[in-house]
Each structure stands twice: as structure tokens, then as C-alpha cells.
Chains A and B, each alone.
Chain A
């Protein structure tokens, strides 16, 4: 029986980096990525669907970061949050594996 893909939410202000990260996530058949910029759409995503992991990218202001984490704690309490550093494929995969293994 095929298991459900791991659902990953990526929140990132930089649109091109967001698209790159989503492409890298989608290279893994067992992962499914949803991307959004911070703001109303991010809160809407957090409240509408269950995610297994959340990646927070660059350019999120401290007050936005705090509000996102509060919303995630309320609506996605079991999803680990990875402060995404570095971009590029290698780092992203390692940090995701680690967070998933530590759940």
C-alpha cells in the first residue's frame, strides 16, 4: 500500500528561492510541497491543511515570524519548524530528514 506523502509547507518571501525550494522538494516522490509568501496566504494555508513539516525561509520579519509560530503552534502543533538556512539542495534535504526523524 502506498503511504501518503510527507506534506511540507514552505514560507519564504523571496519568490525565486521559494520556487527553487519547492522544485527540490518535489524531486522527492515521498514529499509534497506547498509554498507561500508570509502574510494572509500563509495564515490561510496553516489553518486549512495538515502539514508534517514547516520550512521558514529568509526575509520574514521578526513580528511576522512570531505571529506565524503562534499560528503554527495553534493549528499545526505536531509539525516541526525548520528555520531554513542556506538554500541549495544539500542543506535543505539534510535539515528536513533530521526534523522528520526527530518527530
Chain B
């Protein structure tokens, strides 16, 4: 029988530094909740809003797959591998931190805020050579269907990471449904609702709610209203 966990939007942790509002689904920064450490290999799901011209100064990462999905505005990335890039709504960025990487992330615009998701997934290989990649997606490809944006396979759709994980984005009209069949072994799906109201296997979810489901082969999703959502299929053991 399927097992589930529900994280309502208003139960998330919050870091508010004035220039940064970061909502944490799982323990992060000053937010520590032993019941909210991870969902399988999914360790961090931060929903960040950064004020104009502000950002994260240089800081390190190691042994983590870090995926950024911009939702609004432009995010400028610079790292110790000499990558300089700007990602915007419709793009996706992945970093394999591996043996260690330093980077900065800043709002490129001086006056408009940038909104983005930052997602950390435990890797399936330690100490890999650090790697940076970004991809521009066609957002029309997620209208009323699931658009794969992350996979473990270099030759598959979306960006690849060092983990048996598949992410899909969807932007569905009211009343549309879809079934999702899990691809991996011993994986679960963590759904994060970006906007709107969605029903997954009988559970009603609203904007910024999170819902994990595992011990199942398939799930059914229905958009109660027009809705945008992210489905993350993640190994439950790693």
C-alpha cells in the first residue's frame, strides 16, 4: 500500500534576511526539524525570493547535486570553474558539486526580485569532478503534459544528474488529469505545487504544498484549477 507524507505550505521553515526570503520544505539554515530532514535522496527544497541586486556571496558545496529552477526574473551564476551564466524562467541549471565547488548567485536585475527553487539531491557517486550545466526548455512542452526536466541519463530529455532521479514540470488547464508511472526501483515521488489546486491520489494540494508518495508504481494527478507543479521521482534509499 502506498505511503504518503504531506507538507503544507504554511508549515515550511522560513529564513527572512530582508533581501532574502527562503521557504524551506526540509531542514535548512536556522530551520531544524528532525521530522523534515529529507525525502529519500531529496535533501533540500528551498523556495527563494531574492531582492533586486542582492544574492548569495561566494560559498562552497561538495558531494551534492544542486538543481536550480528559476520561476521569475534572472539569476546570475558564477563559479570556481569559471562558469558565468544567467538563468531565467524556462531554464534549468544543475551542478554536481563533487570534490568541491565555490559559487555565487545574484539577482541580475537591480530592482525586480528573482524567484527560484533550489533543490539538493544526494548523489549516487561521491567525489566526482565538479560539473555545471544549464538548459533552456520550451515551456509549451509542459502544457497539459509532463515535461521531463531532469533525468539520470545524458541522452534523455532534460538535464542529467548523478542520481536515479527524474523531474517533470506540468502546467495543466483546469480539469486535466495525468497518470505518472514511476521509472526507478525503490523510488518515490515528491510533488511540489507551484500554483493552483491539484489532487494526487485523493489528496488535495494547494500552492506551495508538498506531498510525498512511495511504495507505489503509479500515481494519478488531476488539476482542480489551472495548476503548475513539479514532480520529483527520487530514490527512497541511497
Q: Give the secondary structure class of B's interface.
A: loop
A83 to chain B, nearest CB (A): 8
Map CB proximity to A onto B56-84 as digits: 1 under 8 Å, 0 otherwise.
00011111100000000000000000000
Residues of A within 8 A of B30 (CB): 93
Interface extent on B, as a size class?
20 to 34
Interface presence of B120 (CB below 8 A): yes
Complex Cα distance, B102 from A98, in Å, reads: 26
CB of A85 within 8 A of CB of B29, answer: no
CB of A91 within 8 A of CB of B34, answer: no
Interface presence of A20 (CB below 8 A): yes
Residues of B within 8 A of A98 (CB): 27, 32, 34, 37
A59-B100, A90-B29, A98-B37 in contact; A85/B60 too (CB < 8 A)? no
Residues of B within 8 A of A93 (CB): 29-30, 32
CB of B100 within 8 A of CB of A58, answer: yes
Interface presence of B235 (CB below 8 A): no
Residues of B within 8 A of A20 (CB): 59-60
- Chain A residues with a Cβ closer than 8 Å to the other chain, count: 22
Residues of A within 8 A of B44 (CB): 86, 90-91
CB of A58 within 8 A of CB of B98, answer: yes
Name the residue in A84, A93, A101 with the highest tally of chain B Cβ atoms < 10 Å from its Cβ.
A93
**A residues 55-79 touching B (CB-CB < 8 Å):** 57-60
CB of A16 within 8 A of CB of B63, answer: no
A94-B32, A97-B32 in contact; A58/B59 too (CB < 8 A)? no
Instruction: Given contacts A14-B62, A59-B99, A84-B63, list 9 more A-B pairs with CB under 8 A.
Output: A14-B60, A17-B60, A86-B61, A88-B60, A90-B27, A90-B44, A91-B44, A98-B27, A98-B32
List 15 A-B pairs, Cβ < 8 Å.
Answer: A16-B100, A17-B100, A57-B62, A58-B97, A58-B100, A60-B127, A87-B61, A87-B100, A89-B29, A89-B59, A90-B29, A91-B43, A91-B44, A93-B32, A101-B34
- Residues of B near any A CB (own CB < 8 A): 24, 27-32, 34, 37, 43-44, 59-64, 97-100, 102, 120, 122, 126-127
- Residues of A near any B CB (own CB < 8 A): 13-14, 16-17, 20, 57-60, 84-91, 93-94, 97-98, 101
Ranked nearest first, the 9 interchain pairs of A and B with the lowest CB-CB distance are A58-B62, A90-B28, A94-B27, A90-B29, A14-B100, A86-B64, A87-B60, A87-B61, A17-B60
